[in-house]
Structure 1
Amino acid sequence: MSTVDDTGVDKGTWLSNASESELLDEINDEIKIAVTPVSVFVGIEAFFGFWGNVFVLYVFIKRYHDCNFRYFVLCLAFLDFISTLTTMPGEILTQQYWYKYPFPIVCKVKSFFNVFTVSGEAFCLCTIAVDRYRKVCAPFGWQIRPRQALIMCGMIYGAAFALSLPVSFLWGVHQDVKIYKGRNVTVTICEKDAQFVDSQQPFVYATAVEIVNGICLVIMLVLYILVAKKLILGRPTSQRCQNPGASMGSKSPASRAKSKQKPEISNGEGVSFTDVQIRKSIATKELSTTEMRSIDDESVPVDVNDVYGTDAETPDEDGTSEGSHKHRSRRRRREIASRVRRKTYIMFVLTILFIVTTIMYMTLLAFISGGILKSLNDYEKAVYFFFFRLVFINHVINPFVYTCLDPQFKQIIGEMKNNVLKILKKG
């Protein structure tokens, strides 16, 4: 039975007389209507991601102090910025021209930077997890220094580029035949390259990428579990016994003087209070050097939970200048420990979001490699694309997280806002 549309044209007659080009437009228009809300959502992400990451790049290049956190944030922000210029606009183009993709080169570029940015973020967040683990769980051991962090960022980009390079050959456009209302229509799709449509190489490569990124996700998860255990549960009981600093606040001045004269053995391992004082003295010397040179604010080895033990002590100890210096040193260590914890929380939030969205992305990518899209109708494809591209949230959310959780970033925003208001008032 034939049907008549709003213009009075018989659809059955039109289908039988329509050219293949007209049918191709009809097919593409149908899926365009279904996926347009997803394209709009990606466009909004691209807009906020672009300007948000431009702002992050400016702040951390021009205004932020020299530290590991700065270089790793810049590493992530530049990856996010690249994605807003390549992958996200390319994805909108793909969705809007699903069955008649017009630009083969754009398809390859979009596909390359898709893997490049996701893998780069996985490598970067994995490196950050190692850095946070060393800062929190092994503060007196080896640490990643700012110069090393900068070199690692370069290595991250190199590794992501090497891992993504095969995409330039395996992915691209190819033609396929789709049956549309009883007629064969040749469609052009941005997916596998024409030379590898019937090959297993794209599937093998996609599986290898998923394994590499999966290993990074596992490392992140394990390290942050250990970090969370340290931050939430605090020190083990044995360490509390080794450091009697927390109980010293309740002692009288005479008792503290007596403690200085006679070392106290805290356990069978022979760790004395004098040993603890020596380690604190070394940390104090490093602290002074840090303050004078204005270097990395996390460079002083500080136990993020040990600093709580000094809060109960008398501010000026015995009233001497040495006691005042110790108090200032303890306060400085508490500030450093607070920054370590805060920056760890920031990266923990970003990492958990990345893990969840990337697992979803890799799972759906495996289904695409298996050809699931051919069995979905247009609206099912739209839902699939929405969840598949939730991974783009990682390229947008970082500036908002820094604004909420990083006081220094928020302070810089306030200063810039005040400067802009002053300029506007003068104008």
Structure 2
Amino acid sequence: MYKMSVTVSPEDPLQNNFNRTETLQQLNNRYAEALLPLTVTFGFFTVFGIVGNLIIILVFSLSRDYKRNNFKVFVLTLGVIDIITCFTLIPAEMIKQRSYFAFGDEVSCKVKCFFNVFVSTASCLSLLVISVDRYRKVVQPFKKQLTPRLAVQILLIVGFVFPLFLAVPGTIMCGIKRENMTNIYGGFTEINLCETEDKYRDSIWRKIYKIVLIILLIGISCCYVVLYVFVMKEAIKQIKAISLLRKSSLYEVTYSSDVYDPNAINLDAVNTKRLLDIYRENTEEKDAFQKQSVTFENNSPSPKNTNRKKVSKQLSSKSLRSETPIIRTTRFPTKTLVWFVLTIVFIITYLTHLILALKVSEIVNMSPSEFSWFSFFFRIYFFNHMINPIVYAIFVKKFRESCRTLIPTLKARVRDICICQK
């Protein structure tokens, strides 16, 4: 009997791969390198979001151009939520990307999970309050409106307290999850992920919790769409009614008057049907004044006749001004447009996150480049928390002007504080 022996060359790649293993740190570094451009991008989001939202808070808090109204309350609320996100959640995500598959700190993991749920639900519910306020002001302007004081109280409960309680169950169930991942050599490496702990994976409470969050996000997104459809339709009707008023002879009379200011009208308070009714009433009233003016002209001297015409115009103007809400422009209302844009961005980014959340279990089979692209779109909602300064700068002229005078305003406030202390 002859014994057969097989000699394997040490340079055989198959044998080398069989003998070699990829450590957890090596695997993590390989994916962290692929995620580096995304980490840098999120770093830009952090800096821009902190600076931009800080400017928003300072401008709307210090500038005298912004009185205590709902718009100011809403802007400051979203600014606080966004700056919390930029200070906590986005930097935490950047840290996580450097050790995504080797996450070992359970406390940091739970803190990150808490802010994940808190900021998303806080933004979601705050935008719901804003959309309801827009609906009431544009579609139902003559019904009881949300006052700034009531808006603050509702936002504290809906936008901050309720999200705190909603984030607690997710924080409890979140932790370090251990799983095997195929490494570069075809073997398996045990990884540590910051996700739902194994003991809660099949829990009925986790399933209920996920269903509640999904219904909350999708349901409120549907409410956004429905409310803004009504707002847009009513705004278009109002713009057409205003255009009709501006083309009328009544508008020409009031425009030439020293009493009436045609650029001081607030579109939010206008109801289309009421606007047209007032237009007809004041047209009849203007015709009556014109008849009186003609009669007076035939029976009065020339100087007094001129005064009577002026008084006729002023009375007609005063009547219109006392009955008709002031209309700024025939363009689309700025505040409604601002909140509509921010709401659309929120819906798109968070629904993208929600859809990709169904694919989280597949990340262990993704290559570094696939995982990098997945992570970008999975966290695309971070864009929602740094876009506010851009939207305000584009649509709100007063905000742009206030930003230019922010430094002098801060210096004046500091100087006043120093004088008071002396």
The answer as to whether partners of 1:39 and 1:95 remain within 8 angstroms in 2 is yes
1:399-424 C-alpha deviation (Å, 9 max, x unpaired) = 111111112211211222566999xx
Correspondence for 2:250: 249
Deviations 1:23-69 (A, max 9, x none): 11110111112111111111111110111111111122222311011
2:29 corresponds to 1:39: no
| Corresponding position: 1:171 with 2:163 | no
Q: Larger Cα Rg: Structure 1 or Structure 2?
A: 2
Q: Does 1:77 align with 2:79?
A: yes
Partner of 1:272: none
Q: Distance between the aligned counterparts of 2:143 and 2:9, measured in 1?
A: 79
Aligned residues, how many?
A: 365
What TM-score, normalized by structure 2, do the two folds share?
0.75
Q: Secondary structure of 1:143's match? A: coil
Counterpart position of 1:87: 89
- Deviations along 1:141-191, whole A, 9 cap, x unmatched? 121111111111101211211221111111121222334325443221111
Structure 2 unmatched runs, 5+: 1-7, 255-259, 287-306, 413-422
Once the two structures are superposed, what CA deviation does each residue of 1:337-363 show, in whole Å capped at 9, x if it has no partner? 789911011001111111111111111
Q: Is 1:136–1:340's contact at 8 Å kept on the other side of the alignment?
A: no
Counterpart in the other structure of 1:27: 27
Partner in structure 1 of residue 134 of structure 2: 132
* 2:270 paired with 1:302: yes
Structure 2 partner of 1:277? none
Q: Give 1:209's match in structure 2, choosing from 208, 213, 219.
A: 213
Cα displacement (A) at 1:129: 0.6
Matched, 1:105 2:107: yes
Provide closer, same or farther for how the CA distance between residues 120 and 178 of structure 1 changes in structure 2, counting only shifts above 3 A.
same
CA deviation vs aligned residue, 1:54-93 (integer Å, no higher than 9, x gap): 1111122222311011111111111111111111111111
- Secondary structure in 1 matching 2:178: strand
Of 117, 120, 123 in structure 2, the residue corresponding to residue 121 of structure 1 is 123
Residue identity matched to 1:227: V
The sequence identity of aligned pairs, in percent, is 27
Alpha-carbon separation, structure 2, partners of 1:342 and 1:59? 18
Q: Which piece of structure 1 moves more, 212-221 or 101-110?
A: 101-110
Conserved? CA contact 2:245–2:251, under 8 Å: no
Alpha-carbon offset, residue 203 of structure 1: 4.2
Gaps of 5+ in 1: 5-9, 254-283, 285-290, 292-296, 423-427
TM-score, length-normalised on structure 1? 0.74
For the residue of structure 1 that corresponds to 2:144, the secondary structure is: coil
Q: Encode CA deviations 1:86-140: one digit per residue, 9 max, x unaligned.
A: 1111111122111111322111111111111111111111111110011111111
CA distance 1:401–1:16, change in 2 (3 Å):
same
- In the alignment, residue 392 of structure 2 is paired with which amino acid? Y
The match for 1:363 among 351, 355, 363 is 355
**Where do 1:300-379 residues align within 5 Å?**
301-303=269-271, 318-320=309-311, 322-323=315-316, 325-326=318-319, 333-335=326-328, 341-368=333-360, 371-379=361-369
* Counterparts in 2 of 1:317 and 1:39: CA distance versus 1, 3 Å: farther
Instruction: Give, in angstroms, the shift of residue 17 of structure 1.
Output: 6.4
Contact 1:206 1:366 in 2 (8 A): no
Q: Which amino acid aligns with 2:397?
A: P
